[in-house]
Structure 1
Amino acid sequence: MNNLRRIDLNLLVTLHALLVEKHVSRAAQRLHKSQPAVSHALANLRAIFDDPLLVRRAGKLELTSRANELLPKLTEALHQLGALIEQPAFDSAHEKRVFRLALSDYGARVVLPGLVRRLRSEAPGIDLQVSQGSRVAMLAGVHDGEIDMAFGVFQPPLSDELRTHKLFIEHFVCAADKNTLPKTGDLDKTQWLSRPHVLVAMQSSEGNEIENALHREGVSRRVAMTLPHWGVASHVVPNTDLILTAARRSFDLFLKDSPLQLFTPPYPIDPFEFSMVWHSRRESDAGHNWLKQAIIEMLQEDGAKEPDESGIAVPALTIPPTSTQ
């Protein structure tokens, strides 16, 4: 009871921000306070709990055992207190905040153009810090609080603390120079296998959806070029006999003046789910929830407008209700 007299709600809110962010500057930014003020609060909290709470290991702050015990209890306590006090609605037009997103260049191509347009229109004070990494690195960043949201293809099961939402199902198409294709505008299995291919992969070709499909058929293709990025892939195909098989949304939406022709792969390739992942600690964050919903709505709108002049229609995006993993 004596300790209760030494602590107020503001200190508890500061403690929660510090334990979630594991970073004094980011906690200060989140709380709209100065870094010295948050550092002073941390010193008081360490004295109250008789524990360092955050310790530096390998160049970054980590939670102590005591802090790990406190975090879920503190989150629940603040959530219950919040239910008693009417919280002001998130004001996107005036809010000033930074969100950290992790995406591949494919994810950036799909998510960022529409999202940035929406932010500049509805939330001009919201800034984005975008990073790229492997799937494992992105999930680790979300888990450690270094990343607010990650986007990509994530195989279950995920950590119990992570939440996921399927944004859409993506399909594969092939692209080749129009002048190298027969009048039908596509290739049969024999023609397709006889041509050299471009592969987009961060590491090896093993285990990706295309190679898995070919393995099921007992065939293999010649990969003449492997690239780590989607962005340049479609630009190396024109004026060559190369074939690029990639996610439909990695290509320009309007292909009227493109030298490329898109066509359906002659071998059936499994589609993949493109998802958004965040940590459960963000569930009570009104700004975080606003951004998630803005992304879902933006993808719904963009999906409904995607053209099919290329002859390869993109299925309308169906956004399911939020699910947890």
Structure 2
Amino acid sequence: MTPNPARMDLNLLRVFDAVFEDQNLLRAGKRLHLSQSAISHALSRLREALQDELFVRTARGMEPTARALAMATPLREALRSIHDTLGVQAFDPATASRAFVLAANDYVTSVLLTRLSHRVNALAPSVDLVVRPSTRLDLAEQIDVGRIDIAVGIFADVPARLQSAPVWTQEDVLLMRKGHPLRRREASLADLADFPLLTVSLGGQEEGAVSGYIVERGLARQSDMFDRQALEDALAQIGRHPRYRVTVPHSLAVPELLLASEMIAIVPAPLAESFARRGDLHAKKLPYAVPGVTLRAIWHQRHAHDPAHLWLRSQLFELARR
């Protein structure tokens, strides 16, 4: 039987697109706000209409057939064209009433998202912001199913289904209390072995971290808030090892821990600058070469042309440039 495009329900094509991208009926249903049974029924109708299985259930999820692979890209372009042709409701921040969900660690929340909150409050008084921890293991899935709009962090790899843009580039620096013995002289490599270290770890090897990154659903996110490998390689040159005296899962405890001890901390420069404004902490350069890393914002590609998301991203990037 030859399929008749004139009688094809466009909602079935939206289901196909969601299942192809997520390769999971439950996630596709959550994205489209449909039950799993409704997704299954829609797939059955589409299979009957096209005379092809389209997806085969495997241990890895719903694997597309050759026919589905051939359909996917042109179908997505067609759906986008229909969407653009029909037009999208403009986003007016002054009158809009909605909530955006962002994911970030406490450092990014403190340094950047507090400013974003003030900006949004001034320009869009009925728009709310919800910040979730970017350290959660299901971060990629939460973005996939639409529960997180934008995530901000250090990512080594970003899968093709997600889009990203740089927020800023940062380096690690040394942070200590103002009365610390290193305060008035340059730090040496030996100092980094002699003085105990305070570090921030966002998820270690017990959570599957490899080379400083945790990988899930193709997204590799930073596991330590400093370049652990660069530090250990530098100390290995003098035959020494760092002593990780205290490791905490968040940065807000760092100042109080430093003030009461001889510990030193390695933290991102923007965070050190924020802490130094307190007046009782001091930041200085590390005694070894530190590669810069780029803080990025990531979002799902389905939001690429959404006016509300475009507006929020523009506010975020403008504040970061400042």
**Shared fold (TM-score, shorter chain, > 0.5):** yes
Q: Distance in 2 between matches of 1:247 and 1:281?
A: 32
Q: Distance in 2 between matches of 1:298 and 1:104?
A: 17
Amino acid aligned to 1:99: F
Q: Distance in 2 between matches of 1:23 and 1:82?
A: 19
What is the match of residue 181 of structure 2? 181
Q: How many Å apart are 1:16 and its aligned residue?
A: 8.7
Amino acid aligned to 1:172: D
Amino acid aligned to 1:184: R
What is the match of residue 103 of structure 1? 104
What is the match of residue 81 of structure 2? 80
Q: Distance in 1 between matches of 2:287 and 2:8?
A: 71
Q: Distance in 2 between matches of 1:175 and 1:6?
A: 63
Q: How many Å apart are 1:237 and its aligned residue?
A: 0.4
CA gap 1:107/1:24 in 2 versus in 1, 3 angstroms: same
CA gap 1:99/1:215 in 2 versus in 1, 3 angstroms: same
What is the match of residue 116 of structure 2? 115
TM-score (norm 1): 0.70
Deviation track 1:107-163 (CA, whole Å, cap 9, x = no partner) reads 32233101111211122333333322448632343344443222211113x322222
Q: Secondary structure at 1:115's aligned position in 2? A: helix
What is the match of residue 258 of structure 1? 279
Amino acid aligned to 1:169: T
What is the match of residue 125 of structure 1? 126
Q: How many Å apart are 1:225 and its aligned residue?
A: 0.8
Amino acid aligned to 1:111: L
Q: Distance in 2 between matches of 1:130 and 1:263?
A: 31
Work out the percentage of aligned pairs sharing the same amino acid. Answer: 21
CA contact (8 A) 2:95 2:124 kept: yes
Deviation track 1:15-49 (CA, whole Å, cap 9, x = no partner) reads 59976894767656xxxxxx9xx99x979956864
What is the match of residue 301 of structure 2? 280
- Runs in 1 of length 4+ with deviation above 6 angstroms? 16-21, 23-26, 41-44, 68-71
What is the match of residue 172 of structure 2? 172
Alignment of 1:234-245 (within 5 A): 234-245=255-266
Q: Distance in 2 between matches of 1:71 and 1:235?
A: 54
CA contact (8 A) 1:164 1:277 kept: yes
CA contact (8 A) 2:28 2:145 kept: no
Q: Distance in 2 between matches of 1:93 and 1:13?
A: 35
CA gap 1:83/1:182 in 2 versus in 1, 3 angstroms: closer
TM-score (norm 2): 0.70
CA gap 1:65/1:24 in 2 versus in 1, 3 angstroms: same
What is the match of residue 58 of structure 2? none
CA gap 1:6/1:191 in 2 versus in 1, 3 angstroms: closer
Q: Distance in 1 between matches of 2:28 and 2:257?
A: 43
Alignment RMSD: 4.0
What is the match of residue 232 of structure 2? 214
Q: Distance in 1 between matches of 2:107 and 2:302?
A: 27
What runs of 5+ residues in structure 1 fail to find an aligned partner?
29-34, 55-61, 302-325
